[in-house]
Structure 1
Amino acid sequence: PNLIVGIYRNYDCEFGCTNLYEDLIKFMSQTATANSDELTQLQLLAGEGILAVMDSIAKRFCTDRLSKQDSELNNENTENSKSDVPSEEAKLRKTREEKKRLRMAAQSFSEFGKDSFPYLQKIHVLCKPLTAKSVASFLRYTPQLDKTVAGEYLGSRKPFAIEVLKEFVNTFQFTGLTMDKALRLFLESFVLRGDAQQILRILELFAARLFLQSPGPMLDDASCYVLVSAVIMLNTDAHNHQVKVKMTLADFRKILRGTNKETDFPAQFIEDIYISITTNEIKILPDDLRTIVHEGSGVDSRYWVKLLRRSRRTGLFKTSAPPAHGHQMFGLLWDSAIHILCFHLKTSDHPKMLQRIEEGFHTFARICSVYDLKAIFNNLLISLSNILCDLLEECSMDPNGFEPIVAFGRSERVQRVTSLLFVLTIGYGEAHILDAWTNIVHSLLWLKYLELLPTDTFEMDDFLDSMGHPLPSLRFSLAPEIPVGSLDSTLTYTLTALKSLWTGSNETDETRSIDSTHEEEEIYKSRAFDCIAACKIQRIFEFSRHFQPRSLTYLVRTLILISSNRSHTSLTSSGFNETVLNEEAAIFCLERLTDIVERNMNRLEVIWPLIKKHFEDIISNPQFSHPTYYTERAVVNLLRISVMLLLCEKDDVAKDIMSFLALLLQLGDSILQVLGDRITAGLTILLKTDTRCFKTSADWNVILSLLQRFTHQPKATFCAFQAVEFIVNSRANVCNFLPCLHALVSFIGDRSNVQLTRASRVLELLLKLHSSLSSIQINQDSSQAEFDQKQSYNPEYEVLVSELWDRSIQTFCQICRDSRYDVRKYALDCLQRALLAMPDIQIRSPNSWKKCFESNLIPLLTDLHQIETERLSKDPNPPKPVPFSASNRSSSPPNSSSVQNPPEDLRLRISALLFQTFLHNVHLLVELDHFHIFWLKFIGSLERYMKYTGEKRSQLLSTHFSESLKNVLLVLQSSGIFLKASKQSGQDLWALTWTVIGSFRPDLRKELQESDLLRPSYSRPSQPQSEPTEKVAESSNGNSKGSLAGLKEDPSLFKHSSIGESAILLPNSSGESLQGDVDMNPTNENQRVS
């Protein structure tokens, strides 16, 4: 390795030397390239030379020991860079760039002369503005400069050129040199041409410089000038073949006699010059020694003189070199190396040669890894992938008629290339692979197309049903069945047979040199699968967690491009074969994307924008409007990624989970109908995993809106309802309360074919959700202490709970209007429990109760009266009243076989619930600013139900409402509520009440008076306070029809009312209970209201 490094170090990195290493590489690269199908020994030798040079670089710079040294050197370079000291690599790069720039400058000047000066300034060879000194230095020190052009410029008469000539002469150092040696040095730097005046001007400047630095026996510069001119004449005379009579020493002395300041030069001095010039001609020779070789005649002997003279100045052959030298050496080699490696990999059949080539690939990759040459390494993998794709395509159309898997197992070359590609990909892919991912994935698609990828390794995850069984896939339900022996299954053999008929011979037998048996084919198949298994292709995606962000991004972009399942134009233009671009390929890449997301959760922000945008494009694609296998897998992977996002610790990624899930809302009904079971299964897993990311009502609306869309999907309804049930049972909070209400209502529906059992479960869940208001928390992550504080002292919390309570009651009232009788009946039971049987829910706001009556209960009474009237009009037999109270209400859910007796009149149930709710909350209602207006509207709304129309059911309903209203009047009067409300409003509420009642039941007051419970006189009685109770008891023993005594005789009427048979327990404003059988007389005259 030291020889190659030394050649580069001592030749290519020196200004005055040829680029020997570069020329050697170019020569071997050109020689190793085959011009025909047959390889010659010279071509093999040149290829081996390229590999040997690459091995030298690897051994010299890429060993573990040297890598450690390189690391230390890099650290030193880093420190040097901080201290503004250039590193060794920077110096080398600068030297190489300077040498290249000077070559370009020499070439330009040699071609264009002084006209090249602007270009030389552009490439920073000459300074700006142009100076004579910089031009002189360029002409003096630039190697491979055309000396003829240089001489022509130096001899120019232009003032700037004359200044350049002066500076050019001043660049020489003649100190210690004899006159002839100094002249040789000067004249070998350019070609002295031009007229006599130009030559004399140049020689005059030279003589002055020589006399200044090395005068010798010369007495003045004029003497030096004469001597130089004489030497020029002697050189021409002695070495010009046209001169027949040569100048002798005596002639030379005669010429110079008396020229040394009117004296003679020393005789020995003249003799030495004469001998030197006559024996050794002063001749201008080029610096580039490559020009001294003449084709066919070898080296011109005249040039050996200069060569020998230069060889006397030997330098030290340096073999030490920093890592930067290896980088630069490989930079001149890699392109040719890839071409040679791939060429021999495709054509060579010799095992040792293939082994050597495989070693070359590994060496190449190791060098790229050490120097972090991503672009070069990607070029290697691209070339290797293209070779593999070509070989796999040949296997798919095997000329011998073998199946692709068998053809793969029979070819050692394709197995070697496959193994080599994926070993390099797995070994170096985490940091160095960029655009080569496109070609590597193309190779994977070919392997999948040929069914060579192991199915157990790349198995697709899917959701299970409630029984733990895999859900049926569209892959099989939509795929057309191809019968065994069809054209598609035997295409290759059929074409072979037809070809045999056309050619008149059995070509199948001829092309198959060995009659392969079934056992042999199984061996080949096993060999193929063993090769793929040994490649461990799955590690590409398993190790993606270690990929550098840039490499990971390139891989993700490639998978996105293929998994988009759109037009193949962009892919085919990138080199993809359209044969492998099908739905299966798109799904394969989509699954790999999800695998990458799963393995990169700790840094998902690197690729998340790409993943999110990709799924948005998939969902919005018009081709996605129909259920296909690709649609199925896209939805499944979207849900899988959503579940992963729940566990993501990156806030900037986790915040997108709801918008990501919301993409499912864009799916059409046709897709939901087919994929509903998968979507609901995925949403259930998502809910059970973690719901901390659902922080607002809008977040919960997304998932509950999705579940609502499956209420009419037979395959998905049960699972969707279970998901909602899970939310209500374990995830209920303020944010999802209303979305849960809407979702549950949608599961009841308004269709008669909806099972009553499901409706009852929905109502039970609604009741459970309603009961959760007593313990619901604004923030599900808050502690119990925080919750208790909010519940006890936070008025905003009470307002919020009141609003949710109202919406819940409104929902129950909505279901009470259902067209199915059993659903209405059970909904009424649940409504009563929600209003009366949940003391933990404390609604303290009078306005909330006012709104409940005006917006919910009274409108429900009106609507239910109409619904029941229409139903009862079809039933000629009136029902027997059924008791309805908190103690004997029906608690069993409705079902199709539960109603054996004739259905009861639900108008009686809602009226009882209305009055009972009013009495339970009248102590809050009386605090209303305009209670008197509310009360009058309340009794006014009862008018239509208390009128008797002559029909038996109407009589029963009218009697029920009348007796209930009597009880309410007795309680309000006995508890002093009328008196309190009259003081608040400034109006006689008692009188106003009877005015309203008298408009539709004028006899009601008379009935109360006849029962002796309502006295017309307001004088305080002399009896004890308990007398009214005794009077009530006495009246109860009478037979006054329509009085409370009458109600005693018909207990069933009380059972329909919200008041018990003997007493009414009503909480007053102080929390105490008021007894129903109380003194109806005012306590004093001031309390009397006429």
Structure 2
Amino acid sequence: MASSDSTSSIHSGTNNKDLQSMETKEIRIKSELSWSQLIHAEIIAVTSAMRKNARWSGVGVTGLRMGTLGNTMGLRNAQMNMKDSSVKEKNPLMEGFNSLKNYIETVDDVKDLDAVNVLNPFLEVIRSGNTTGPIAGTALGSVEKLLHYGIIGISNSRVASAMNALSSAATHCKFEASDAASDELVLLRMLQVLQMAITSECGQVLSDEAVCEMMETGLSMCCQMRLSEMLRRSAEHVMINMVIAIFERLKGLEDEWQFVESPNDGTEEPADPHMSTPKPIQSPTPEVPQSAEAKEQEAIIEASFVDSPVPEDEEEKEEETKQDSKEETGITATEPTSLRAYGLPAIRELLRVLISLLNPHEHKHTDSMRLMALSILNVAFEVGGQSIGRFESLRTLVTDDFCKYVFQLAKTDSTPLLALSLRVISTVFDTMQPHLKLQQELFIFFLIERLSPSSGAGSRHVSVDIDEDGNISFVPFRSDLDASTTAEGRSHSPNMFLGKSTDYPRHSKNYPSDQMVISAEVRELLLESLVYSARRPSFMVDLWYNYDCNLTCGDLFEELIQFLSKNSFPDPQSYTLMNSHVLCLDTLLVFVGHMVERINEQNSDDDYVVCELTSVQDLLECKTRKRLILRGSRLFNESPKKGIQFLIENKVIEADEDGSINTSLSQFLRSTQQLDKKTLGEYLGKPENFDTLKTYMHQFDFTGKRIDEAMRMVLETFRLPGESQQIMRVTESFAATFFEYGPKEISTIEAAEVLAYSVIMLNTDQHNPQVRRQSRMSLEQYIRNVSGVNNKGDFPRDYLCAIYEAIQQDEILMPEEHEGLLGFNYAWKQLQHRSTSSGPFVQCNTSSYDKAIFESSWKPIVAAISYVFSTAQDDDTLQKAITGFRHCASLAAHFELHSVFDSIIINLATMTGLLDNANDNTSVPDPIVDVAGQKYVVSKLAVRFGRNYKGQLAAVVMFAIVTRHGDSLRKSWFRIVQIIRNLFLNSLLPSSMLQVEDFLSGTTSIPLKPKSPKPAKQTNRRDGSLLSTLSSYLLSPYSSDETYYRDPTDEEVESTMCAVDCVTACKLEGLFTDINTLHTETLICLAKAIRSVGYDTEVMKKATVTIPYDPATVLFLEFMITITVRNADRIEELWPYATEYIFGILDFAEKQSVLVVERTVVGMLRLCICSAGRNVMLEEILKCLRLLRDFPPTVTQAVAEQMMAGIFNLSSANSDNRNDTEFLNTILEIKQKVANSL
């Protein structure tokens, strides 16, 4: 017995080198007993169990045969042979074990064992219907132990034949029935043997037929509702383990074409294996034994639940014949070389049967069977999903039937079935995504539609509006009163029929018929499935790339973002944040977080990936074209003339070299899914569009198609118009095009036209519900109706029969004509058709598209984060919103999306509550308290802000973002400056920000409010500056005046201290630390904001007397001067804004407070001194000097000392301007005027 026999039979799936290496290495069994001891022990175990039965109680293991030895020595003893034959016929099972014991004595090493000889006696016991359950169970246990311990291994001779015999025996295990519990224990042991057979090393030599038979047995036991729950669950567990081993094998299989043998090899390939679909009503069927010893009519349990095509009595005779043949030929025969190890055929058949169990419209299949099939399929896809995609035959099963069935199961309200269906769908998309592009589009749109609250259910949403200035507003509205929530520029999926099915449970009240009602638990499951997929880092990018930037797909990314954003909003009535809201918010934040991670991890590999993908520019152009097509489609559905005109104007439809638009228009009409099929049919049927109709027909490929098949292709793209003349035009143009393909059954174009028209009439006759079944056209009537029109002859009868049968069995569905299952099947067929040209799903793990993606999605994301922040009731939710703000701001700054950044800052500024000063009575000073030796003003704004916990958080976050990304601010500077003004006026700004520079007295603080000055002695001489004189009676920021409304309460003081601490945490001192590093555009926006907030020109114009002192005017004057001076290298760009602020004050110098005028003059002279070294600024400096020269005498007198100190510094500046005549003359004029005023 050559060991090569065991490997010569393995044609596929097993590497010969691996097998040879297994044979050469020492075999180690998993036991400390010797292999022969183990086999003897198992023989004794089985025979002992047999002798407990009356049938074998008097039969020994030895002495059963006599005469064989003599035969081997050349002797002849007919009488002995007759006796031996009688004994053998009476005790064949015991004789088998005796033969095995004798065989063992002839073998020296376990690797020399013949697997068939070792297993055959045990398998005979298992197959025999004369044994009891305990005997069969013991034999099964022995076989399992022999495999588990490694006594039967891959290196044994004839292992392939032995394993396939084991499979056959186990799946046809028979034993006398006893009580149900004992019988089920035997069946459980049988399942364990099947599992060991496939999962062990020897399992790789099983044939396709054996594997199918084993899996069919396991599936049948899973579906036996009369079996106990424990046994069925055990069978399912065994099936899962076997499926893991089987689908793991896919990874090592060669390409699919390797399984297609060449027809010239002279060998006849066995037919593909077949598995029967299990039925839930089947159960172990009692059999009537045919032997004379079983006249008590005992029932026999058979583990094979497959109806055998061979009658049982013939099968027993056949088995006896086989047994006799084996015994006569001996045990040394080699196994046949045609046996092939299992591979793709068995896996394909197993996958087909499992998928068929999911069919929701097959009423023989129960939900329990579907749950079992889903559990097994989930494991199959987890183990071999990617490998399944390599094989077209497997891939087709998944992309078509599997997806069709499981998507329909996703509509169920059965929680267990829905949960498992969603899990399997997620697994399939994770492992086979490149092959499921349109299926994923359909499914995600289905989830979005079913999860979205429908109109008419009394649901309330929140409308989000972001104006041009970046302000976000939220308006609650009734969904049934506002249907404009869907953006007009977005495209829904053209395959939404799954979501619009009429199979959903509905409201019992007066709600629209399309209202879908789902329980909270079902909603949670659907949402978690959606969120699970969206958490993959590249998921959103993949959606945008594959769908939103694809002309034929819906805007899936935008729809998903809108859905997640809207469903992040808590109920506007209770502001309760449910788990569904948290899931949606978390998904948005994870999406944003993934983008932040990608921009922080950019590397050279990212550039390599982008080289293989479409450029961002091309994708954006595609999106632009897509919007035009969508807009044109809507116009076409309203008025084809307007729609076509719009498309021509926007160059979507273009004329060819001959000036005709028919070709381009036909391509548009054929490829655009959003067109209304009825409108399209009416347009094509009009006589003035006949040329377009002919061109439209040439968009189809009718190669190899029968005329009814070709008509089906055409009529599934538009709805046939109702008028007979229009129908004739359609059939005429179709017939002319179809005849160009040269159908041999049709002689003329006219014959094709008649036959095409007959197909339409036949379809109506066979499937119109208004036509009674008895009145419908028969085949003979149809043939007679079209006789003699094929060039005065008849069409071939077989051709007409094929047409009639096809139409009768499968209606040509007109688009949008049917609902329910027919409508779904039509939509699914359209999806399958589109999938052939849609291309694979491309995974885009790159940051190159993030800017375009974020730019298109930031509004709903920021709106959701803002709304959640403003309504949050716990710190965890607030922390999530704060993280979202920071991430969005980082992205906006990185991508230089200034309007986005502004909107975030404006939104945060609004939430701080610091934009409204709310100080109604400014005539009475706010109270001041002493806390730990420091004086604090208890203002209304301070108290209110100290009580606003979310406002404080918003302020800290906002100023942290501004400090880090200050260069990204544009319009939002206005809000920042407003907040600084209000903080200043309420004595909340840090003292370091209140310091101003002075030519005479150095640095001093800006006073908030002046007191009425004490009477002063008039004198013509001033010994100090006005600022020094006023300092004795001008208040500091923290006044000591004790005249208040009332003393503040402890709570107000505590709130004020909270406000002070928050301002400290905002670190406002660092806001302008790096002001000189900001871009010029940023500085200009800041200067504009300061000008707008600093003072109101209209108030100054209307003032008839002295303008009240406004300390904010001085504060922002100092800000403006400081910003300009610290950016002296760019003073030309900033000068106009600084001087505008200055001139706006000095134009009303006579009405202004003396302090305001003095600080303005000092600031203007500081600017002149800073720019003195630039010759280009001479003219601007002269403008400032002329303004000082032309001051009224009273103003000149009030600011004389500061003015002269500044003029002196300007004159001393190292500049060529000192030699300019006009400059010098103006200086002299100013000095003379000051002298005259004193």
Find the partner of 1:445 among 981, 997, 1014. Answer: 981
Change in 2 beyond 3 A, CA 1:633/1:389: farther
Q: Give the counterpart of 1:120 among 613, 638, 647.
A: 647
Counterpart of 1:460 in 2: which secondary structure?
strand
Residues 121 and 387 (structure 1), Cα distance of their counterparts in 2 relative to 1, 3 Å cut: same
Tell me which amino acid in the other structure corresponds to 1:670: T
- Deviations, residues 200-230 of structure 1 (Å, cap 9, x unaligned): 2321221121121251433333332232222
Q: Where does residue 1126 of structure 2 map in the other structure? A: 599
Aligned equivalent of 1:347: 871
Shift of 1:545: 1.6
Letter in structure 2 aligned against 1:633 = R
| CA contact 1:388–1:443 (8 Å) conserved in 2 | no
Which of 1138, 1149, 1154 lines up with 1:628 in the alignment?
1154
Match status 1:560 vs 2:1091: yes
Q: Distance in 1 between matches of 2:1001 and 2:982?
A: 34
In the alignment, which residue of structure 1 is the partner of 2:587? 52
Within 1, Cα distance between the matches of 2:788 and 2:556? 53
- The structure-2 alpha-carbon separation of the partners of 1:684 and 1:467, relative to structure 1 and needing over 3 Å to count, comes to farther
Aligned equivalents of 2:673, 2:759: Cα separation in 1: 27
Aligned counterpart, 2:858:
334
Matched ranges for 1:515-594 at <5 A: 516=1051, 521=1054, 528-564=1059-1095, 566-567=1097-1098, 583-594=1110-1121
1:192 matches 2:755: no
- Mapping 1:117-266, distance limit 5 Å: 117-127=644-654, 131-158=661-688, 161-213=689-741, 215-244=743-772, 245-266=775-796
**Aligned-partner Cα distance in 1 for 2:858–2:1037:** 50
Of residues 407-416 and 587-596 in structure 1, the stretch that sits farther from structure 2 once superposed is: 407-416
Distance 1:195 1:353, change over 3 A: closer
String of CA shifts for 1:870-918, please: whole Å, max 9, x gaps.
Answer: xxxxxxxxxxxxxxxxxxxxxxxxxxxxxxxxxxxxxxxxxxxxxxxxx
Q: Are 1:385 and 1:421, in contact at CA under 8 Å, matched by a contact in 2?
A: yes
Q: Is the 8 A contact 2:544 2:557 kept in 1?
A: yes
* Residues 360-411 of structure 1: per-residue CA shift (max 9 Å, x gap): 1011112212322111221221222222245764799999987654654554
SS at match of 1:461: strand
Q: Output the amino acid matched with 1:235.
A: N
Contact 1:220 1:261 in 2 (8 A): yes
Q: Distance in 2 between matches of 1:438 and 1:466?
A: 30
Asked whether the 8 Å contact 1:389–1:443 carries over to 2, the reply is no
Tell me which protein shows more helix as a share of its residues: 1
Q: Distance in 2 between matches of 1:102 and 1:467?
A: 66
Structure 1 segment 689-700 matched on structure 2, within 5 A: 689-700=1213-1224
1:472 to 1027, 1033, 1051: 1027
C-alpha change, 1:50 and 1:465, in structure 2 (3 Å) is: closer
* 8 Å Cα contact 1:608-1:653 kept in structure 2: no
Q: Is the contact made by 2:788 and 2:794 (CA closer than 8 Å) also made in structure 1?
A: yes
Within 5 A, what are the aligned runs for 1:331-730? 331-390=855-914, 393=917, 404-405=941-942, 408-409=945-946, 411-430=948-967, 432-464=968-1000, 472-473=1027-1028, 476=1031, 479=1034, 489-491=1043-1045, 493=1047, 516=1051, 521=1054, 528-564=1059-1095, 566-567=1097-1098, 583-619=1110-1146, 621-624=1147-1150, 628-646=1154-1172, 648=1173, 650-654=1174-1178, 656-711=1180-1235
Which of 828, 834, 840 does residue 307 from structure 1 map onto?
828
- Match among 570, 574, 591 for residue 38 of structure 1: 574
Q: Could you tell me how far apart the structure 1 residues matched to 2:1169 and 2:828 are? A: 79
Distance across 1 between alignment mates of 2:1210 and 2:973: 33
Shift in Å at residue 66 of structure 1? 5.1
Percent identity, aligned pairs only, is: 25
Could you tell me which amino acid in structure 2 is paired with residue 310 of structure 1? L
Q: Give me the whole-angstrom Cα distance separating, in 2, the residues matched to 1:566 and 1:639.
A: 22
Q: In 1, are the aligned partners of 2:564 and 2:585 still within 8 Å (CA)?
A: yes
Which residue number in structure 2 is paired with residue 12 of structure 1?
A: 548
Distance between the aligned counterparts of 1:530 and 1:466, measured in 2?
30
Deviation of 1:471 after TM superposition, in Å, equals 6.6
Tell me, yes or no, if the aligned pair for 1:673 and 1:713 is still in contact at 8 Å. Answer: yes
Larger mean CA deviation between 466-475 and 307-316 belongs to 466-475
- Aligned-pair RMSD on alpha carbons? 3.9
What displacement does 1:24 show? 2.3
Distance 1:516 1:188, change over 3 A: closer
Provide the rounded CA distance (Å) in 1 between the counterparts of 2:580 and 2:915: 27
Q: 1:342 to 1:65 in 2, by over 3 A?
A: closer
Task: Rate the CA distance shift 1:537–1:95 in 2: closer, same or farther, 3 A.
Answer: same
- How far residue 454 of structure 1 moved from its aligned partner, in angstroms, is 1.0
State which structure, 1 or 2, has the greater radius of gyration over its C-alpha atoms.
Answer: 1
**SS in structure 1 of the partner of residue 1044 of structure 2:** helix
Structure 2 match to 1:2: 538
Q: 1:470 to 1:421 in 2, by over 3 A?
A: farther
The corresponding residue for 2:631 is 104
In structure 2, distance between residues paired with 1:421 and 1:198 = 66
Mapped to 1, the partners of 2:1190 and 2:795 lie a distance apart of: 109
Q: Compute the displacement of 1:653 (Å).
A: 2.5
- AA in 1 matched with 2:1226: V
Higher relative contact order (CA 8 A, sep 6+): 2
TM-score by length of 2: 0.49
609-618 or 444-453: bigger deviation: 609-618
Counterpart position of 1:1064: none
Deviation at 1:607, TM superposition (A): 1.4
Q: Structure 1 residues 72, 242: CA separation in 2 closer, same or farther (over 3 Å shift)?
A: closer
Q: 1:482 to 1:285 in 2, by over 3 A?
A: closer
Q: Shift in Å at residue 185 of structure 1? A: 0.9
Within 1, Cα distance between the matches of 2:571 and 2:1029? 54
Q: Give the CA deviation at 1:131.
A: 3.2
Letter paired with 1:134 = S
CA displacement at 1:144 relative to structure 2: 1.2
Q: Structure 1 length as normaliser, TM-score?
A: 0.55
Aligned-residue offset at 1:492:
5.8
Equivalent position amino acid for 1:592 in 2: F
Deviation at 1:475, TM superposition (A): 5.7
Distance of 2:1037 and 2:726 partners within structure 1: 96
CA distance in 1, matches of 2:916, 2:902: 21
SS at match of 2:988: coil
1:1075-1090 alignment, distance < 5 Å: none
Corresponding residue SS for 2:993: coil
Distance change >3 Å, CA 465–CA 365, structure 1 → 2: closer
Tell me the distance in 2 between the aligned counterparts of 1:11 and 1:581: 62
Cα separation, partners in 2 of 1:391 and 1:600, compared to 1, 3 Å: closer
Alignment length, in residue pairs? 658
Distance of aligned partners of 1:485 and 1:91 in 2 relative to their CA distance in 1, 3 Å threshold: closer
| Secondary structure at the counterpart of residue 162 of structure 1 | helix
Q: Which runs of 5+ in 1 are unaligned?
A: 78-85, 495-507, 509-514, 572-579, 715-1090
Once the two structures are TM-superposed, the CA of residue 193 in structure 1 deviates from its matched residue by: 1.8
